[in-house]
Structure 1
Amino acid sequence: MSDTRHRTAPTPAPEQTQSPDVVFLGTGTSVGVPALGCDCAVCTSDDPRNNRTRCAIVVRLPEGNLLIDTPPDLRTQLLREKISLIHSVLFTHEHVDHLYGLDDLRLFPFRLGHAVPLYCEQHVEERIRKVYDYAFTNRAPTHPGSTPQLSFEQITHDPFEVLGVEVTPIPMQHGPYFNVLGFRIGNFAYCTDTNHIPPESIERLQGVDTFVVDALRFKTHPTHYNVEEALEVIKRVQPRTAYLTHICHDLDHGIVEAELPENVFLAYDGLRLPLSP
């Protein structure tokens, strides 16, 4: 990849706006970038777009902030983006890099006046109740906020409503052992952590304006799309604009993005995109 032409993704100014938008909290793989102990060119890069925390987004809606996944970096991500309140959470699946920041929700019930609603499939709820068992005991709390206050809204593959918008689940596979969900909200779709989107789910993605999809690296992987596979899926979906996420340290932002099709970009931490209805 020798062509290093500069390309700028279409993104609005980072200031808070009243218009609905999507904020990329994290765009990295499960170990993040830089990776611990690695001195490769990407891990030591001074390009801030190569600094990737674990994957999550916030969809900022008129009725509140909708968080998708709770990665271990959640507190740092929300502080960085100056997002002071989360109103509801959706979960794509139960892997550590998408779940283990859940305790960072503890402060929000004080301002919400109720437990934080978690929208997830039954098997994800079961994992949350197991991992965070201290949040679901009958023992009297020692003080307010000692444990996260959480409530569950079980979802299936049927569309549902949250914070005044309809959300359409996108069933996908994440390797041989895990079934996961992507989500479509209006003309925006978020499909991280997958290496197979079945035909019936591709149908649910038709007509999206902005499509975010997993693209871990160039080499094949048993549970994630690589860049070539992600580009093939983008051709099938035919969005106006596509963004690649869940990126490892094999992809240098400036070099790789310069080689992508004109409507395809690498997502990066802090990227903000308008949300079309």
Structure 2
Amino acid sequence: MRVTLLGTGDTTGTPTVGCDCDTCEAARERGVERTRFSVHVENEHVDESLLIDFSPDFRTQFLREDVPLPDAAIVTHIHFDHLDGMGNVFRVFDSLDVYAADETDPKTGKSVAETISDDYHYLEAIDVEPTTPLETIHVSGFNVTLVPVEHPPLVCYGLAIEDPATGAKLSITGDTSYNVPEESRAVLADPDLLLADAIVPAHLCEYHPIGGRHEGDDGVPRTFGTKHMTREGALALADELGADRTRLVHVAHYYPADEAFEEPLAVDGETYEL
């Protein structure tokens, strides 16, 4: 299993357009980026690959990393930074199976799968495959399981990807607070590589209108507001899941410049062989 981090940033990416903060300037000086979230996973046994989320930076990411176009894709939720790159399918793919959860979202009245079908009905190459969370499916030679996480006000999912030929396992938290359900944690547990949402360091919770939540025994918030984990929350979850290796993703440019490129914060283009 070869994992390529196509996009490791949050909704605005780093550097952020029009921003001259110290972190964005440092990213420019270093020649690194955190574009909008997306992950590419290759299965060398069947010569197929899987895409997790359609970043709006799809074209740039695929040209930059020179990875093969995916044979299938999974969408975790319908926020634009994870979905709006789907339009890149036009005139690029002859056909593409897109897997998405079939649970109805109380906020939208539709499932993620239904939203994709409705919003991208004009893309004839797309075949949407409604998928039941917590039930394993077989895609591109991998065993894949979507798991519910907490990212209000919309439903959102993390996922575990396992290679039955080698036992290698990749877990992705998806966009989530620290309050990941126990049944989801059980599926995500014991990965060789964990990609964990860590939008900001915990000390920035003081700047959020509602502060932080899910404090640890040390009083440090593990959730920033309601929708994303702090760096400390992501690392606590990684420890609880028994992750062999952890990379922090969905990272915002709000990290202070002297913290923004420290381990284990990921940047675009990192690759891992599991």
Q: Do these two structures clear the TM 0.5 threshold for a shared fold by scoring above it? A: yes
**What's 1:138 paired with?**
none
Q: CA deviation at 1:125?
A: 2.0
After the TM superposition, list the runs of 4 or more consecutive aligned residues in structure 1 that deviate by more than 4 angstroms. Answer: none
Alpha-carbon distance in 1 for matches of 2:260, 2:64: 25
SS of the residue 1:117 aligns to: strand
Tell me which amino acid in the other structure corresponds to 1:267.
Answer: A
**What's 2:75 paired with?**
91
Q: CA deviation at 1:254?
A: 6.6
**What's 2:66 paired with?**
82
Question: Paired residue for 1:104, among 85, 88, 94?
Answer: 88
Q: CA deviation at 1:255?
A: 3.5
Residue 150 (structure 1) aligned with residue 109 (structure 2): no
**What's 2:188 paired with?**
205
Contact 2:22–2:257 under 8 Å retained in 1: no
Tell me which amino acid in the other structure corresponds to 1:121.
Answer: A
Per-residue CA deviations over 1:201-223 (Å, capped at 9, x if unaligned) read: 11112221211110000232321
**What's 1:6 paired with?**
none
Alpha-carbon distance in 1 for matches of 2:258, 2:243: 22
Tell me which amino acid in the other structure corresponds to 2:22.
Answer: A
Question: Paired residue for 1:73, among 43, 53, 57?
Answer: 57
Contact 2:113–2:129 under 8 Å retained in 1: no
Alpha-carbon distance in 2 for matches of 1:257, 1:44: 12
Alpha-carbon distance in 2 for matches of 1:209, 1:252: 29
Return 5+ residue gaps in structure 2 as ranges: 103-110, 163-168, 205-223
Contact 1:253–1:266 under 8 Å retained in 2: no
- How many percent identity over aligned positions? 31
Alpha-carbon distance in 1 for matches of 2:172, 2:40: 11
Alpha-carbon distance in 1 for matches of 2:198, 2:93: 35
Alpha-carbon distance in 2 for matches of 1:173, 1:154: 20
Alpha-carbon distance in 2 for matches of 1:267, 1:131: 31
Contact 1:192–1:245 under 8 Å retained in 2: no
Tell me which amino acid in the other structure corresponds to 1:272.
Answer: T
Equivalences, count: 233
**What's 2:100 paired with?**
120
Q: Using CA pairs below 8 Å that are at least 6 residues apart, which structure has the higher relative contact order?
A: 1
Return 5+ residue gaps in structure 1 as ranges: 1-19, 136-147
**What's 1:60 paired with?**
42
Per-residue CA deviations over 1:155-207 (Å, capped at 9, x if unaligned) read: 111011001111122221113x2221111112211113111311111111222
SS of the residue 1:72 aligns to: coil
Question: For the aligned residues, what is the CA RMSD?
Answer: 1.8
**What's 1:234 paired with?**
238
